[in-house]
Structure 1
């Protein structure tokens, strides 16, 4: 029994590493492709990178939905969103105080809160139907299209500095990028499948609910790409990208991923959903309010947010 548990833990660790490496390969390839298309770095950070770093959540949730594990599919998304906002942005703020652009708060902060409301509405009856999944997915597609259009229309001058209209100045999308794209996607899909299977086995063996496992260990594991990208962006001085990556990922998780997972198979979840939803709503409101009023995330605020995630984990795993 002990040996089997150790094997499952090893699979979880290996799967998380695989998700992180695969997502990095995938993001690198997609970012190069986006630059080839003439998108600015800010647009890439809010859309392409945000979606790319969420590919582990997407792979895990789709795989869980196909296996009839609705709790893991949804808990992974909601738990990842809480982890992204509270722990990742909290740690980033502890490392360095984060000033936030007004446009990012007003535009994407509102979108973040709207995504929480949308996923909360469809989960109110503890079931997400294919129709509700399609609606959520359409909301994400509409938001992304609006974001790209608004960015291009409102920041044409800025984009001309970061993305020349002369395609000869843009990086070519070559064989290496194609290999990273295919290899990264394959690694994410395989690692996501193994993570779901191992986490489910651990939950059953330890007597811990699949919801708790999905909302803590799996959620943190699939959020490693967001953590890595935010820290790298911070080191390079791209503070807006650090926040934009997290906010954009959360919007995609709540609308795009839950939507796609429900299209694969209708999702049924346990009443534990409401507690996690309430926690996510509270963290989202407080985070947006903190950014809106101060336009900065201080080290003290970052410590409080990160600490709240430690408390959530303790309550979940010990309760």
Structure 2
């Protein structure tokens, strides 16, 4: 049992540092070859920050652990919009804007509701994966067409990189990129195996473990990044980044996983997905109230997130 706990904690660090190294090194490499900030944000940074969720979800799917595979994505999204978003609003109210209210949040709500419908009919198959990836491609295409506005929207996600001074790219950046991918690959493997073993030991379902501990573990990079941004007074883009991360988790991570390996949907998935639809709708409502997420609204989101954890472990 102790060895499983050790490997679970180790997997969190591997996923955390692996994703951070991928984003940092790949962004520097892209800058060196004069890749646009928008392209970096939509591809390298988006993949890097969602790499823990993808590796855990895909690994679980190929091991036949569909409950962990789906619950990791659902739990991560609830954790992002509940605990992380609520905590950031408690620290300092988060400003919103019309794009979030009219485009990004409604798109996330529609996508989440569609996945709930697909899960209800047990249709998370390759056709669902193609549909989700098509939605993601359409969204990225829209942002690319409206590149100036999209570039401003992505400015809070893309890490600050020093301007190219003409020096040769360091081999350390390539090594960090390689080590980062190895780290998340091992982290995903360790997390799935150790989490399922812990669930069996305590008699807890794989779904509950995936919705809670695994989801929180794969969301740690987002939590640390948001805390750092908040402490530096850069709260303007936190809400948009969290909504974008949730959308990428569903359309990108879940879509690609379903394309590679269709998922079986257990009855345990439907309450969690229903809760997530309600939470996205609540966040959309909060966005429109005074065009900010206030501290009391943040407290509501944190309370819902903690309450859901308590309910999952007691049920």
Q: Which moved more, 1:309-318 or 1:124-133?
A: 124-133
Please identify runs of 4+ aligned residues in structure 1 that moved more than 6 A: 153-156, 169-172
Distance 1:206 1:57 in 2: 24
Structure 1 residues 154, 137: CA separation in 2 closer, same or farther (over 3 Å shift)?
closer
* SS of alignment partner, residue 67 of structure 2: helix
Give yes or no for contact 2:112–2:277 (8 Å, CA) kept in 1: yes
* SS of alignment partner, residue 12 of structure 2: helix
* SS of alignment partner, residue 126 of structure 1: coil
Give yes or no for contact 1:106–1:292 (8 Å, CA) kept in 2: no
Give yes or no for contact 1:19–1:192 (8 Å, CA) kept in 2: yes
Distance 1:231 1:279 in 2: 25
Q: In structure 2, list runs of 5 or more residues that go unmatched.
A: none
Q: In structure 1, list runs of 5 or more residues that go unmatched.
A: none
Match of 1:109 in 2: 105
Shift of 1:153: 6.4
* SS of alignment partner, residue 268 of structure 1: coil
1:39 aligns with 2:50: no
Match of 2:248 in 1: 252
Structure 1 residues 213, 127: CA separation in 2 closer, same or farther (over 3 Å shift)?
farther
35, 39, 58: which is aligned to 2:54?
A: 58
287, 290, 307: which is aligned to 2:286?
A: 290
TM-score (norm 2): 0.89
Distance 2:139 2:182 in 1: 28
Match of 1:76 in 2: 72
Distance 2:300 2:9 in 1: 28
Shift of 1:98: 1.1
Distance 1:106 1:243 in 2: 14
Aligned residues: 307
Give yes or no for contact 1:16–1:222 (8 Å, CA) kept in 2: yes
Structure 2 counterparts to residues 212-227 of structure 1, below 5 A: 212-227=208-223
Distance 1:112 1:46 in 2: 16
Distance 1:154 1:23 in 2: 23
Q: Which moved more, 1:201-210 or 1:146-155?
A: 146-155
Q: 1:263-289 CA deviation, whole Å, 9 max, x = no partner?
A: 221110210111001110011000011
Give yes or no for contact 1:118–1:255 (8 Å, CA) kept in 2: no
Match of 1:208 in 2: 204
Q: 1:182-214 CA deviation, whole Å, 9 max, x = no partner?
A: 211110111011100000111111111110111
Structure 1 residues 155, 61: CA separation in 2 closer, same or farther (over 3 Å shift)?
closer
Shift of 1:29: 2.2
TM-score (norm 1): 0.88
Distance 1:240 1:173 in 2: 32
* SS of alignment partner, residue 146 of structure 2: helix
* SS of alignment partner, residue 134 of structure 2: helix
Structure 1 residues 246, 171: CA separation in 2 closer, same or farther (over 3 Å shift)?
farther
Let me know the Cα RMSD of the aligned residues: 2.5
Match of 2:124 in 1: 128
Structure 1 residues 206, 37: CA separation in 2 closer, same or farther (over 3 Å shift)?
same
